[in-house]
Amino acid sequence: MNTQILNAQSEHDLKAAADLIRSGELVAIPTETVYGLGADGLNEAAVAKIFEAKGRPQDNPLILHIAQPRELEALCHDIPDSAWLLAELFWPGPLTMVLPVRDIVPKRTTASLDTVAVRCPKTESTRRLIALCGTPIAAPSANRSGKPSTTTAAHVLHDMDGRIAAVLDGGACEVGVESTIVDLTGDIPRLLRPGGITPEELRQALGTLEVDRAVLGSIANDTVVRAPGMKYKHYAPSAEVIIVEGSREAAARYIRRRFEAHDAVLCFREELSLYDGLNPTAYGSENDAMTLCAGLFAALRDLDTPDIRTIYARCPEGGGAAYAVRNRLKKAAGFHTVDAEAEA
User: CB under 8 Å to 125, separation ≥6 — which residues?
Assistant: 8, 9, 14, 30, 168, 170
230 touches which of ligand TXA, Mg ion, none (CB within 5 to 8 A by kind)?
ligand TXA
Near Mg ion in 136-195, by CB under 5 A: 141
Residue with the shortest CB distance to ligand TXA: 229
User: CB under 8 Å to 23, separation ≥6 — which residues?
Assistant: none
Q: Does 229 bind ligand TXA (CB under 6 A)?
A: yes
271 touches 254 (CB < 8 A): no
Contacts with ligand TXA, 301-330, as mask; x by CB under 6 A: ------------------------------
Return the range that interacts with ligand TXA (CB under 6 A); candidates 11-19, 30-38, 247-255, 328-336.
30-38
CB nearer to ligand TXA: give 14 or 75: 75
113 touches which of ligand TXA, Mg ion, none (CB within 5 to 8 A by kind)?
ligand TXA
**CA-to-CA distance for 192 and 14, rounded, in angstroms?**
32
Long-range contacts, stretch 270-278, CB < 8 angstroms, 24+ apart = 271/314, 274/248, 274/249
Q: Does 178 bind ligand TXA (CB under 6 A)?
A: yes
Least distance (Å) between residue 29 CB and ligand TXA:
7
Near ligand TXA in 60-79, by CB under 6 A: 60-63
CA atoms within 13 A on the CB side of 215: 19
User: CB under 8 Å to 207, separation ≥6 — which residues?
Assistant: none
296 touches which of Mg ion, ligand TXA, none (CB within 5 to 8 A by kind)?
none
**CA-to-CA distance for 309 and 263, rounded, in angstroms?**
6
- Is the peptide bond between 61 and the residue preceding it cis, with omega within 30 degrees of 0? no
- Positions in the binding site for ligand TXA (CB under 6 A): 31, 33-34, 36, 60-63, 96, 98, 110, 113, 115-117, 119, 139-141, 178-179, 181, 192, 226-230
Give the binding site for Mg ion (CB under 5 A).
Answer: 141
